[in-house]
Every structure is written in structure tokens, then in C-alpha cells.
A = this chain, B = another copy of it.
Amino acid sequence: MFERLSVRTSERDCLVDITAQVQRLVTQCGMREGICTVFVPHTTAGLTINENADPTVGSDILRSLAKIVPWHDQYDHAEGNSAAHIKASLVGSSHTILVIGGQLRLGTWQGLYLAEFDGPRTRQVWVKVIAG
């Protein structure tokens, strides 16, 4: 099973909750027990797992990342989006989540987010479930 999602992002920096879409793919494939690897094939976006309740957590994460890695700095990369590349390396491109009883097993307050750092764009997310 290998599936792809297409995710539209609306701002330069934003977190898009993709938990329900990934769960739908897991449900469709019918796999009950295993692990689900989620992978973002981009170099200026990543994946992160964080709070799904209060949206200010997401905005605090993005604002803090913007302080840690300022958009304008002495970067050499001519496209001008080095900060987005660096943030992608900080949060990472892949996550592996347990699948138990056909469900992505996340904590109560956890959601899986596409972390957009150079949007708005249409991004892909790749998903594969391994039984076990």
C-alpha cells in the first residue's frame, strides 16, 4: 500500500492538520496492526506532531521558528527561501506512527501536521503502512 495526498496550503508559514486524511488512507488499506510512515517529498516543508486543540500552539511554534531562523539573514541560496529549507531540516520530513486496531494511534492531544514554510503551495504527502 502506497498512497499520496495532495494538500493545499494557504500562507507562507502554516500548519495543516492532515490526521483525518492520513487516517482515511489507513482505513482504506484495511491494515489493522503495524506502522504508518508519512513522508513529505519537499525541501521547504516538513511534518510535525503537536497539539490539536488550541490553535495558538501552532502559531506559537511558527513564530518561534521564525525567530530561530529569520527569513532574512546572510544566506547564499539565491532563491531567497533558505529559512524554509532550514526549518524543514529542524522538524524533519518523515514520521512513523503506530497503527493499532486499524487506527493511527496518536496521543489525545496530538495531531499530525504538514508544516509549510514556503507557501502557499500544493504539497504532496506520501503514506505507507507496514503490517506487523
Chain A contacts to B: CB under 8 angstroms:
2, 33-35, 37, 39-43, 48-51, 54, 56-57, 59-61, 63-65, 68-69, 73-79, 82-83, 85-86, 88-98, 100, 105-110, 124, 126, 128-132
CB-CB under 8 A from A33, the residues of chain B are: 2
Q: Which residue of B lies closest to A35 (CB)?
A: B37
C-alpha gap A128/B131 in the complex (Å): 11
Contact partners of A107 in chain B: CB under 8 A: 40-43, 124
CA distance A100 to B4 in the complex (A): 13
Chain B residues whose CB sits within 8 angstroms of the CB of A54 once the complex forms: 77-79
Residue of B nearest to A1 (CB): B132
Total copies of the chain = 3
* Set B2, B68, B100: member contacting A98, Cβ < 8 A: B2
Q: A75 contacts B60, CB within 8 Å?
A: yes
| A60, B42: Cβ atoms closer than 8 Å | no
In whole Å, how far is A131's beta carbon from the nearest beta carbon of chain B? 6
B128 adjacent to A129 (CB under 8 Å): no
Contact of A95 among B41, B83, B94, B100 (CB under 8 A): B94
Q: Note all chain B residues with C-beta closer than 8 A to A95.
A: 92-94
CB pair A77–B60 under 8 Å, yes or no, is: yes
